[in-house]
Amino acid sequence: MQIKGVLFDFSGTLFRIESVRSWLRAVLAEQGVTVGGADFERYTGELEAAGALPGGPLPRQVPARLSAAWATRDESAELHREAYTGLARQVALPDPGLYDALYERHRTPAAWQSYPDAAEVLGALRDSGVRIGVVSNIGWDLRPVFRAHGLDPLIDDYVLSYEHGVQKPDTRIFHTACTNLGLDPADVVMVGDDRNADGGAAALGCDVRFVHHLPVSERPDGLRTLGLVPGVA
């Protein structure tokens, strides 16, 4: 196929969230809360098990009281906050203000790192005249993350689930993205890390290619090897 457009997922595809350890350490420092080493390790382990960090490890178990919010968490900003702060509140942290502070931290550019080959691949696509969109299941505006990391000039359009009230794998979100780029889905590739959510684009006629959701240091060329741009592999 001649690729005229590429849609990228955000978390685990172009960017990776910091570790739970880094997330908690940063917020404790920002809030001026001091905890002992053993307590820090316990909080880190419990937050990770709870799945409280958006973009981080999934919850081992979602409490029944949060099941509805969790299932539709990316359809609105309110549901996203409810789901993730609710998961975090399963952990008895030493200051009640930490739950909201943790949520706010994950929305900051400092909490995210782009994959090593993201700028190269996006730049090569743009130089080739390929239209580029970001399609993300998310509950907040990720555009500042792209701006802070210098990738926003390479993106033509963003389709964020919470702004449309629909989340992947629903084909409507991919249809909106293709329409916004002015392209037929048959000419578009969807790139993501989730075979269920991102794989939904296949039902619309998009080609779908996957990367592994790995730490940045462990995936130096996952995007480069997808064959999106001739000569970039």
Q: Walk me through the domains of the chain, giving residue ranges and CATH numbers.
A: 5-16+111-226 (3.40.50.1000), 18-110 (no CATH)
**Cβ proximity of 15 and 134 under 8 Å:** no
User: Which of 135, 111, 116, 131 shows the shortest CA–CA distance to 55?
Assistant: 111
* pLDDT tens readout for residues 165-219: 999 999 999 999 999 999 999 999 999 999 999 999 999 999 999 999 999 999 9
CA distances, 231 to each of 52, 62, 120 (Å): 40, 45, 12
Question: How wide is the angle at C-alpha 54 spanned by C-alphas 228 and 10, nearest 5°?
Answer: 15
- For 172, list phi and psi in degrees, rounded to 5: -60, -35
Assigned token pair, 12: 């685990």
Q: At what angle do helices 77-88 and 37-50 cross, to 10 degrees?
A: 130
Query: pTM of the prediction?
Result: 0.95
Strand-pair partners of 133:
7, 157
**8 A C-beta contact, residue 6 and residue 207:** no
Tokens of 49: 């098990």
Tell me the per-residue pLDDT of 40-60, one tens digit each, with 9 for 90 and over. 999 999 999 999 999 999 999
Q: Is 39 helix (H, G, I), strand (E, B) or coil?
A: helix
Task: Of 176, 148, 151, give the one whose Cα is nearest residue 164.
Answer: 176
Q: What DSSP designation does 213 have?
A: -
- For 100-135, the pLDDT digits (tens) are 999 999 999 999 999 999 999 999 999 999 999 999
